[in-house]
Amino acid sequence: MTQIALRKNRIKLEPVIFYSVNTIIMVLVMVVMIYPFWNTIAVSFNNSQDTLRGGITFFPRQFSLYNYETVFKNQLLVIASINSVLRTVISTVLGVFTSAMVGYVLSRPEFLWRKFVTRFFLLTMYVSAGLIPQYFLIRNLHMIGSFSVYIIPGLISAFNIIVVRAYMQTLPSSLVEAAEIDGAGHFRIFMQIMLPVCKPVLATIALWCAVGAWNSWFDTFIYCFGKDNLTTLQYEMMKMISASMSSGTNKSADAIYGNMIVTDSVTPVSIRAAVTIVASVPILVVYPFLQKYFVNGVMIGAVKG
């Protein structure tokens, strides 16, 4: 009797235990994913002298907007923000357009060079000459220290092309055939039919392009070194980390903050927190809304790439 009761109990108990443990693990995952960022937000809104006392966790102790004020008053950081926004917008628009255009051509079954051109683009995903030859190419093209270095070299992405092409191939062929019968040329079909129909996949690619452009700093570091008017937010951020890493602790200020208005009331830690937030908020605002698109995009990319 007791054994049966026990067994019944166990059967009922097991799911409860499993779901509780699983839910706790998931909540922990969420905390681990979000906390570092949340904490940075709290620090960025906290009075910087107070932050040095330590112990800021979820909420600011002494609320202050002074850190952000300092960031936005700094000439270099304002230029950096403008450049970051500009390069993101331009390379997203151009990147999406070219990927869609190449994807369209490669999705046309009658295109004569289809096989060759597809391989021509695909190979670029695997073959890379490396940093130094790339550097000399950019140098020979006189693109060092010019804004175009942010846009042109990364303009065409084979991966994005494959994703767009795969999406277009799933569309019914009658879509294009009907337009062809009506006498529309390829460019017109592309602009007026394909672009609107492919909105979901283009949203995915736009997100990837935008994230890539917004997050990159290496091109500024290599090609626009020392050009203050071409600096980007991520690069400024990188300089701050380098300074804090080489000085050992987060507390000590470094030469890098010479051009920051360092006063008694602003510390590197707080400034870095504020810049971190400024440099990541634009993307964080956008990505949850595009979630359903990029999940599909990942699937297409994984299957085809």
Partner 1 sequence: MNMAVNELALQKKAIKLVDRRKLWNRYKSQKSLFFMIIPCMIITFLFSYWPLTGWIMAFQNFRPNKGYLKSTFVGFEQFKFLFQDHIFWQDFRNTLVMSVLNLIFGFVFAIGFALLLNEIRSLGFKRITQTASYLPHFLSWVIVCSLISNILSTYDGTLNNLLMWLGLIDKPVLWLGEQNYFWWIVAFSNVWKEMGWNSIIYIAAMSAIDPQLYESCEIDGGNRYHKIWHITLPGIRPTIIVLLIMNIGWIMNAGFEIQYLLGRGLVMDVSETIDIFVLKYGITLGNYSLATASGMLKSVISIVLIAVTNYISGRMDEESVF
H or E stretch covering 160 = helix 158-170
Question: Could you say which DSSP state residue 46 is in?
Answer: B
| Contact window for partner 1 (CB under 8 A) among 1-9, 197-205, 254-262, 288-296 | 288-296
By rule CB under 8 A, what count of residues binds partner 1?
95
Q: 13, 25, 93, 261: which one contacts partner 1 (CB under 8 A)?
A: 25
* 63 three-state secondary structure: strand
Is residue 54 within the footprint of partner 1 (CB under 8 A)? yes
Q: Minimum distance between the CB of residue 290 and partner 1, rounded to whole angstroms?
A: 10
Q: Which is nearer to partner 1, 89 or 284 (CB)?
A: 284
Taking Cα atoms as reference points, which of 289, 220, 241, 259 lies closest to residue 71?
259
Q: Which is nearer to partner 1, 64 or 161 (CB)?
A: 161
Amino acid at 147: F
Q: Minimum distance between the CB of residue 252 and partner 1, rounded to whole angstroms?
A: 10
| Contact window for partner 1 (CB under 8 A) among 74-82, 103-111, 196-204, 255-263 | 103-111
CB 74 within 8 A of CB 259: yes
Q: Which is nearer to partner 1, 56 or 64 (CB)?
A: 56
Is residue 279 within the footprint of partner 1 (CB under 8 A)? yes
Q: Distance between CA atoms of 265 and 66, rounded to whole angstroms?
A: 9
Beta-carbon neighbour count of residue 239 at 10 Å? 19
Q: Minimum distance between the CB of residue 300 and partner 1, rounded to whole angstroms?
A: 11
Q: Taking the CA atoms of the chain, what radius of gyration do you get in angstroms? A: 26
Q: Distance between CA atoms of 242 and 172, rounded to whole angstroms?
A: 53
Taking Cα atoms as reference points, which of 54, 65, 64, 60 lies closest to residue 39?
60
Is residue 98 within the footprint of partner 1 (CB under 8 A)? yes
| Contact window for partner 1 (CB under 8 A) among 62-70, 170-178, 255-263, 279-287 | 279-287
Is residue 101 within the footprint of partner 1 (CB under 8 A)? yes
Q: Distance between CA atoms of 150 and 211, rounded to whole angstroms?
A: 14
Q: Minimum distance between the CB of residue 152 and partner 1, rounded to whole angstroms?
A: 7
Q: 112, 170, 182, 258: which one contacts partner 1 (CB under 8 A)?
A: 112
Q: How far apart are the first and last CA of the chain?
A: 60
Q: Per-residue x/- mask for partner 1, residues 196 to 215, rule CB under 8 A?
A: ---------------x--xx
Is residue 37 within the footprint of partner 1 (CB under 8 A)? yes
Q: 16, 127, 181, 255: which one contacts partner 1 (CB under 8 A)?
A: 127
Segment 157 to 186, residues that bind partner 1, using CB under 8 A: 158, 162, 185-186
* 225 three-state secondary structure: coil
Instruction: Kindly report each contact of residues 32-39 with a partner whose C-beta sits within 8 Å and lies 24 or more positions away, as own/partner.
Output: 37/280
